[in-house]
Structure 1
Amino acid sequence: MNAPTPHRRRAAFAFIFVTVLIDILSFGIIIPVLPHLLEEMTGSIAHAAVWAGVFSTMFAAIQFFSTPVQGALSDRFGRRPVILLSNLGLGIDFALMALAPTLWLLFVGRAMSGLTAASFSTANAYIADVTPKEKRAGAFGMLGAAFGIGFVIGPALGGMLGGIDIRLPFWVAAGLAVVNFCYGFFVLPESLPPEKRTPRFDFKTAHPIGTLKFLGRHPLVLGLALLVFLSQLAHYVLQSTFVLYTDFRYHWGPTQVGYVLALVGICSAIVQAWLTGKLAPRLGERRLLLYGLCFGTLSMLMMGMAASPWLLVASIPVMALWGLAEPATQSLLTQQIAPDEQGRLQGALSSLMAFAGIFGPTLFTQIFAWSIRTPQYKLPGAAFLVAAVILAGCLLWAWRLTRRIAVSPAQTVGESAD
């Protein structure tokens, strides 16, 4: 099969960008209403909080086991069918949650969402298929921008729809997922030709332990995968404690938090969509990774020590620059792996990130709770400081790990310009 033309690559990338954006929108839409629906079903805020934690842990656990399978399937049968089935499955799952009259059926719907939510990891494999190595960091940055845009628009839209009817956001999310399926069915070309696919589906590399063995065959890949895991673990401090932290320290309500989270999404989208693509050819992936981790460490320190809300707001653009690290890491990883193994690579990475989601929220919420109920050591930002320590360790590990990476043309350009 001939190499895809630049026009075809752009068209394929545009679809993948829209796919990720719509998926994030569909997930973001239900964020503001799922806790209220749980409260309506359980009868109390306390019970709703418990079940929200159960739902989150269950979703991450299912992703931990299912994403390696989905990645291996995409290596065997192609990216297109896995992405399309994922979109269709999500549409059905959201509709089931919209109709669920009982808690257990809502739980089943959420579990099914965990099983079918494969489009993120498979989209990364698709980008690796259709994008030249020297342009992958910028392409992965654009996918990161889709996340930022989706998380700005999704929760705001979900809150507005939830004010009309608490189940309406689930129906809209279902509709978006089905529209995405139809769009892909008629538009999306396959990115992995038959001659580049694995000859058979191997379950030995399609489960969490098997993925570790797969990553272990490539020492550099295993080291970079550890960076992905630890960075994702540190990121859970935001999802799990940001609202609690700002409420305790600054007495912020939902409106203030909503504005600040919108700012987070806007800054992240700018960094991912524009700045990453500008810097990657000049600096190269290694420097981009190290700079991103530097900014991540600094931003967590700023948040943890922010005595006033304006200091915390000032840390948000710095935190957005942490986003330089993820596309650089993805680009480095995909360059170490053969075309017929990109799906397994992305499945393994998604599994590791899901594993971080199993215990990351509990880790940081417990640190936060300890820090505010221990008078002699009262430090409400302790969870963010722990995240800063994790990222500082990632920075040192990345610096040592990537010293022997062969210099790419992009890096040569960057070094000659310095």
Structure 2
Amino acid sequence: MMEMLTRPLRHLFVTVFLYSFSVFMVVPAMVDVIMSAVCPGKDECSIAIYLTGAQSVIVGLGAIVMVPLIGNLSDTYGRKVILTAPMVLAIFPSVILAYSRSPYYVYAYLLIKTVTSMLCDGSVICIALAYVADNVAEKQRVSAFGIVSGVASCAFVCGNLFTRFISTSSTFQVSAAGTIIAVLYMRIFLPESVAGTSTKTENESLLEKDSSEDLQVFKKMSSFHDTISLLRTSPTFLQAAAVAFFNTLGDAGVNASVLYYLKAQFQYSKNQFADLIVIIGIAGTISQMVFMPLIAPVIKEKNLLAIGLFSGFVHIFLSSIAWSSWVNYASAMVSVLSSIATPCVRSIASKQVGPSEQGKAQGCLTGICSIASVIAPLAFSPLTALFLSESAPFYFPGFSLMCASLLVLVAFILSIMIKEAPLAPNCSADPAEPSV
């Protein structure tokens, strides 16, 4: 466990916390902000649902290409220098709503947020996981991945709890300031990871490459063909990717549905959204930062993955049949183990590639998840709008959530079928010893 307390990883954890805190804290306010601009004074708004769904589709399409490319670039140029771009871009959307939340500014936010999210969404965690894989031994990688996710969950809790007690305008101001602080902290304190990079400094390696060399590098960047090749390399990686796809499809379906479902069915406001999100975040933080380090050494990753996915299925299923607002809070408590699924599947995939391909592997997995993030809004936004409207074929407001829970159940079934596989031939048992 001491490998997860080294100086590079401590600075990485702080960077992930500051960035995630700043990004997540705006989530509870966004439904009210968008609906105030599009459908003022209403609790149900199909246009807002479709608008959010279209944004998610476009972001997902961009992420399919960009995140694997960014992961592969981090293998070539280093984690820190590539991490800078998405973190800087994440500043601009919050600045817009910090200035004004009038309809024109909300539309400008949605446009800028869509463009920046193509690079930002998934990239920071993708590179952070590759950084951890560079600095942590194989046997402790699943616990380390869990801690990264736990730090993000902790930031999720703190950000939403903080939002609970400040005004909407202050929420976006603090978000913008927090993202700037995260970038400065990362640039000043986070050392470059050594795995997969040259011994030269990041600036030297960039300056000394001429245009022809840059062209050759980009020719080698991750593409659809590279992704297919990586999936064919290891059956275990392919199975992990399938699990990640269906789990993300279900989770993205929930994200496209649940806030508007709660708004229409139980008249939730920003504060109620924040309360529910905090409960889910606390459950995720406890499972990732307490349970995983304790049980990972004695329970196989495959079994942990199955436990997490089944917990997620139960959580979403209960929310879909909620007959009172308290049921949503009770189902949130059931989700205490659901957040361990993602670190487990990431760790399983990580162990199937060599140390110089961690960014490529994590980027490939994130790209596959981005495909699910594209499909989910296309399916779930119309489904949610239909079953929340008066023209629903039958009365079941949570029908879209029920469908999402079944997709997570498919991921659970696939996780049981994952076979144990040997490590990649060029994987070493231990990475280069990090500085302390």
1:261 shift after superposition: 1.9
Q: Mapping of 1:210-359 within 5 angstroms?
A: 210-359=226-375
CA distance in 2, matches of 1:269, 1:231: 19
Question: Which of 407, 411, 417 is 1:400 aligned to?
Answer: 417
Question: What secondary structure, in the 3-state scheme, does the structure 2 residue paired with 1:281 have?
Answer: coil
Q: Is the 8 A contact 2:50 2:381 kept in 1?
A: no
Q: CA offsets, 1:7-28, max 9 Å, x none?
A: 6862222222222222222212
Q: Distance in 2 between matches of 1:393 and 1:206?
A: 28
Segment drifting more, 42-51 vs 171-180: 42-51
1:27-46 alpha-carbon deviations (Å, 9 max, x no partner): 12333444555567668576
State the SS of the aligned residue for 2:193: coil
What does residue 109 of structure 2 align with? 106
Partner letter of residue 106 of structure 1? Y
Q: Identify the residue that residue 21 of structure 1 maps to in structure 2.
A: 17
1:51-94 deviation per Cα after TM superposition (whole angstroms, max 9, x unaligned) = 44443333333222211110110011111111233323333554
* Aligned-partner Cα distance in 1 for 2:161–2:146: 23
Q: Does 1:122 align with 2:127?
A: yes
Name the CA shift for 1:68/1:156 in 2 (closer, same or farther; >3 Å).
Answer: same
Q: Distance in 2 between matches of 1:36 and 1:255?
A: 11
In 1, Cα distance between the equivalents of 2:179 and 2:27? 16
1:96 to partner: Cα distance: 5.8
Q: CA deviation at 1:289?
A: 1.1
Q: Could you tell me how far 1:392 is from its partner in structure 2?
A: 2.2
Compared CA separation, residues 203 and 261, structure 1 to 2 (3 A): same
Which residue matches 2:406? 389
Task: Quote the Cα distance in structure 2 between the aligned partners of 1:99 and 1:207.
Answer: 39
1:172 aligned to 2:177? no
For 1:224 and 1:297, locate their aligned partners in 2 and report how far apart those are by CA, in whole Å: 18
| Greater displacement, 16-25 / 92-101 | 92-101
In structure 2, the residue matched to 1:153 is 158
The question of whether the paired residues in 1 share the 8 Å contact of 2:64 and 2:370 is answered with: yes
- Encode CA deviations 1:255-276: one digit per residue, 9 max, x unaligned: 4333222111111111111111
Unmatched runs of 5 consecutive residues or more in structure 1: 408-418
The aligned residue for residue 411 of structure 1 is none
1:175, distance to aligned residue in structure 2 (A): 2.3
Provide the secondary structure at the position in 1 that maps to 2:417. Answer: helix
- 1:380 matches 2:380: no
% identical equivalent positions = 21
**Is the CA contact (8 Å cut-off) linking 1:33 and 1:159 kept in structure 2?**
no
Structure 2 unaligned residues grouped into runs of 5+: 200-212, 424-436
Change (3 A) 1:172 1:397: same
Tell me, in whole angstroms, the C-alpha distance in 1 between the residues paired with 2:81 and 2:52: 32
Amino acid at match of 2:152: F
Match of 1:415 in 2: none
Deviation at 1:123, TM superposition (A): 0.4
Q: Distance in 1 between matches of 2:401 and 2:32?
A: 27
Superposition TM-score, scaled by structure 2 size: 0.80
Distance 1:285 1:57, change over 3 A: same
Match in the other structure for 1:410: none
Change (3 A) 1:362 1:379: same
CA RMSD of aligned residues (A): 3.2
What is the match of residue 192 of structure 2?
190
Residue 344 of structure 1: how far off its partner (Å): 1.0
Query: 2: distance between equivalents of 1:6 and 1:156?
Result: 30
Q: Distance in 1 between matches of 2:183 and 2:392?
A: 54
Distance 2:277 2:241 in 1: 28
> Does structure 2 conserve the Cα–Cα contact (< 8 Å) formed by 1:91 and 1:178?
yes
Q: How many angstroms does 1:387 deviate by?
A: 2.2
Letter in 1 for 2:193: S
Provide the rounded CA distance (Å) in 2 between the counterparts of 1:172 and 1:345: 34
Inter-partner Cα distance in structure 1 for 2:384 and 2:84:
40
Deviation at 1:350, TM superposition (A): 1.7
1:21-100 equivalences under 5 Å are 21-34=17-30, 38=34, 50-92=50-92, 94-95=94-95, 98=98
Q: Relative to structure 2, which stretch is displaced further, 318-327 or 82-91? A: 82-91
